[in-house]
Amino acid sequence: MPIRLRLALWCGSILAVALLGFSTLTYVLVEHRLRTSDDDQIAGRAHRIAALLQSTAPQSTARIIRIFSSPGVDVVLVDARGRTVDRTPGMGVAFELFQRALVAEAGRFFDQELGGDRYRLYALGRSGPGRVAGIVVGHDEAEIDRVLRTLLGLLVAGCIACLAAVVAAAWVLASRALSPVDQITRTAARIAASGQSTERVRAPTRLDEVGRLAATFNQMLAAIDAGQATQRRFVSDASHELRAPLTTIRGNADLLLIDSNIPPEERRDALEDISTEAARLTRLVDGLLALARSDAGALQPPEPLALHELVASSIERIDRRLAPGPRVSLGRCEPAVVLAVPDRLEQLLIILLENALKYTPADGLIVGTLETARGLAYLRVRDTGIGIAPEDLPHIFERFYRADPARTRGQPGSGLGLAIARTIVEESGGRIAVASEPGRGTSFTIQLPLAARPPHAQGDC
């Protein structure tokens, strides 16, 4: 059942219960009030007649009847033997037939059908001077019944009109409030059918629940759209990056196959090219695999790791390398235990140190430091290399982004290193930042939360 119908029915049901209670109460109270005042009226007349009879001569009964009879109210006076002494003129015979029995039950109210009309009767016995031994005052209830019927009709009609108006209003309001939801559903169905997330929902101007839903839905579509665009760019960049080394490998391999008389130096050059490009391909595929694993969340569980030991050993290993290049040294190093996957953090250090080596001249310096403050470990890799141009800085963590080769001295690379570095840092709940000045050097700072209870935090670097 649609929500708008359910809402309308709920409103209608609640109102129906409230109206039923109110109408019943009103009807019962009005009926009780009318009947009580009617009883008071006929009993009062009977008692006033009795009081008058105490002081009036018997022949004045005709006057008493005149005074106390009125349209709808009849009076009968009877003697001790039940015979009529006097009565309201024009009364039906039936009334007289009953009055004898009534006198026997003096002091009570009766409801009696007389000649098709409902009468409320009050009978009062008396002893004292005069013939009159009993007084009966009766009131025709037709008037009260008419008033009550009119009231009932008004209440029923009012309740039905009220209910219909409220149910209709609830339906219209719910339909208006929920129309953006319908639109969201239709848009979502269209996107599901076409796979295109470029469509947007027309968000209502008011920021109520539905407005927020529409706005959030649009944000979600924008995020999906951006994600798809990134994915497309990634696939196209990856294909492009893979094609270049493959073309070189194939060209050189074809050359070696076709020409058997190729001079030994050229053969060697071709084989070297193949080897270099194969290594580049391997790095690229490793990088893509690392990113894909991290995107899929297929990672080992993190464990407490003595970061100071890892930093010290990585720097020492790089410094002991045979290739010529800048000096790599360890600066201030405080003990720090973080929750991370050891292989991944090692990979992070290798990326940062190898980048520093690539972009720092041989007479330059690379320094790694590790400090702790306010529950965080700060790992820095500083170099005195070529630096990064301000226009490149915002992009260097993007996948496949490489700064202008003229600036980067044509160093080999895939543009995936820093993207992987950022993923690794974020996996461990940390942040990576860069500060650089072209021509003076670059500093990468990694901020990682310290493990709550370091198992062997003491120790040195």
Q: What is the contact mask toward ligand ADP in residues 347 to 386, using x (rule: CB under 6 A)?
A: --------xx--x-----------------------x-xx
CB of 265 to ligand ADP, least distance (A): 30
CB of 269 to ligand ADP, least distance (A): 24
CB of 353 to ligand ADP, least distance (A): 9
- Does position 415 interact with ligand ADP (CB under 6 A)? The reply is yes
Q: Give the footprint of ligand ADP on residues 387-406 (CB under 6 A).
A: 387-388, 396, 401-403
CB of 183 or CB of 443, closer to ligand ADP: 443
CB of 281 or CB of 419, closer to ligand ADP: 419
What is the chain's length?
461
Closest to 434 in 3D by CA, of 393, 390, 383, 377: 393
Residue 328 is encoded by which pair of tokens? 């790599």
CB of 103 or CB of 421, closer to ligand ADP: 421
Residue 184 is encoded by which pair of tokens? 């969201």
Residue 86, SS3 per DSSP: strand
Q: 448 CB contacts (<8 Å, ≥6 apart)?
A: 307, 336, 338, 340, 376, 377, 379, 425, 428, 429, 430
CB of 443 to ligand ADP, least distance (A): 9
CB of 138 or CB of 430, closer to ligand ADP: 430
Return the range that interacts with ligand ADP (CB under 6 A); candidates 24-32, 39-47, 411-419, 450-458: 411-419
416 close to 401: Cβ distance less than 8 angstroms: no
CB of 336 to ligand ADP, least distance (A): 22
- Does position 241 interact with ligand ADP (CB under 6 A)? The reply is no
Return the range that interacts with ligand ADP (CB under 6 A); candidates 23-31, 85-93, 325-333, 407-415: 407-415
CB of 219 or CB of 329, closer to ligand ADP: 329
CB of 234 or CB of 401, closer to ligand ADP: 401
- Does position 311 interact with ligand ADP (CB under 6 A)? The reply is no
Per the DSSP assignment, residues forming a β-bridge with 448 are 377
Pairing relation of β-strands 365-373 and 327-333?
parallel
CB of 187 to ligand ADP, least distance (A): 38
CB of 180 or CB of 417, closer to ligand ADP: 417
Alpha-carbon distance of 434 to 388, in angstroms, equals 10
If one counts every other C-beta atom within 10 angstroms of the C-beta of residue 123, the result is: 24
DSSP 19-76: HHHHHHHHHHHHHHHHHHHHHHHHHHHHHHHHHHHHHS-GGGHHHHHHHH-BTTEEEE
Q: Give the footprint of ligand ADP on residues 164-223 (CB under 6 A).
A: none
CB of 204 or CB of 415, closer to ligand ADP: 415
- Does position 442 interact with ligand ADP (CB under 6 A)? The reply is yes
Q: Quickly tell me which residue has 């310290």 as its tokens.
A: 450
- Does position 424 interact with ligand ADP (CB under 6 A)? The reply is no
Of the CA atoms within 13 Å of residue 92, those in its CB half-sphere come to: 14
145 close to 60: Cβ distance less than 8 angstroms: no
DSSP 196-218: ---------SS-SHHHHHHHHHH
CB of 403 to ligand ADP, least distance (A): 3
Binder to ligand ADP among 69, 99, 414, 428 (CB under 6 A)?
Answer: 414
CB of 210 or CB of 416, closer to ligand ADP: 416
166 close to 15: Cβ distance less than 8 angstroms: yes
Q: Quickly tell me which residue has 């009953």 as its tokens.
A: 98
Q: Quickly tell me which residue has 């109520």 as its tokens.
A: 208
CB of 177 or CB of 418, closer to ligand ADP: 418
CB of 271 to ligand ADP, least distance (A): 24
- Does position 310 interact with ligand ADP (CB under 6 A)? The reply is no
CB of 362 to ligand ADP, least distance (A): 15
Size of the site for ligand ADP (CB under 6 A): 21
CA dihedral 408, 411, 414, 417 (to 10 degrees): -70
Cα 222 to Cα 30, 188, 191, 227, 232: the distances in Å are: 65, 13, 13, 8, 15
CB of 247 to ligand ADP, least distance (A): 19
CB of 277 to ligand ADP, least distance (A): 15
Binder to ligand ADP among 134, 138, 413, 430 (CB under 6 A)?
Answer: 413
Alpha-carbon distance of 430 to 421, in angstroms, equals 11
Q: For residue 175, give the H/E element and its range.
A: helix 142-194
Cα 29 to Cα 18, 33, 34, 159: the distances in Å are: 17, 6, 9, 18
CB of 203 or CB of 446, closer to ligand ADP: 446
- Where on the chain is the footprint of ligand ADP (CB under 6 A)? 355-356, 359, 383, 385-388, 396, 401-403, 408, 413-419, 442
